[in-house]
Copies of this chain bind each other. A is one copy, B any other.
Amino acid sequence: MGTKDYEEMEFAKLDISREERTGFPEVVFCQGKPDEYLVEIYNKLYERDGRVFGTRATKEQFTIMKKHIPQVEYNDISRIMKIMPEKPDFDKDNYIVVCTGGTADIPVAEEAAETAEYFGTRVERIYDVGVSGIHRILSKEEILRGANCLVAVAGMEGALASVVGGLVANPVIAVPTSVGYGASFGGMSALLTMINSCANGISVVNIDNGYGAGYMATQIDRLARKK
């Protein structure tokens, strides 16, 4: 590792050795970034790499960005704002699954799914299969068992990850969501459920962290794809 593998900006240090070190391009966490910083970062990355991918963007940020970079696209479910000229060419034999307990978990699931797709991973979506109607997830057993990695997204009591973990041989990444009310404590209840899961092969990322799950699922899928 060299001693200065980054580029100094006034308000940031761009980690230019990152893709070489990790195999993943830089991703922008848009939430809370001042508009002028965000535009400057998108411009710099677009210039250098020809593509940009940002999470947690607001509609307002998109409106401003579009004036500067007309090619930018925005998905208001996943809140992802990206410039992605070429669609990835997905591997036919490998895929991951992203599944949710309910309809309200879909935004987090889409953040995970789009992230994985941006990094080149094929994704199968299975939504609204929470444990209170267990026949729904069981009817998808085959597709679950074929995935290299499974991302289980759920709020409220978050039991989905345990059930999925008991059905498959490959790793499950559990994403607690802030969906719920009362004693769900903004997702802490689901996080604790998932951390205490009695099933094997489950690990957990932060509440609503679809991006983190999509990233790690890609790492795992890539290991399976490498031959």
A143–B207 Cα distance when bound, in Å, is: 32
Instruction: Give the size of the chain A interface in residues (CB under 8 angstroms).
Output: 97
Q: Which of A89-122 contact B (CB under 8 A)?
A: 101-104, 106
Q: Which chain B residue shows the least CB distance to A1?
A: B135
Which residues of chain B are within 8 angstroms of A163 by Cβ–Cβ distance? 131-132, 134, 159, 163
Q: Mark A168-210 against chain B: 1 for CB-CB distance below 8 A, else 0.
A: 1111010010111111111111111111111111111111110
A215 CB to nearest chain B CB (Å): 5
A132–B168 Cα distance when bound, in Å, is: 10
Q: Which of A5-13, A58-66, A67-75, A80-88 contacts B (4 or more CB under 8 A)?
A: A5-13
Q: Are A182 and B196 in contact (CB under 8 A)?
A: yes
Name the 6 nearest CB pairs between A and B, nearest first.
Answer: A182-B207, A159-B159, A132-B199, A203-B203, A132-B166, A223-B224
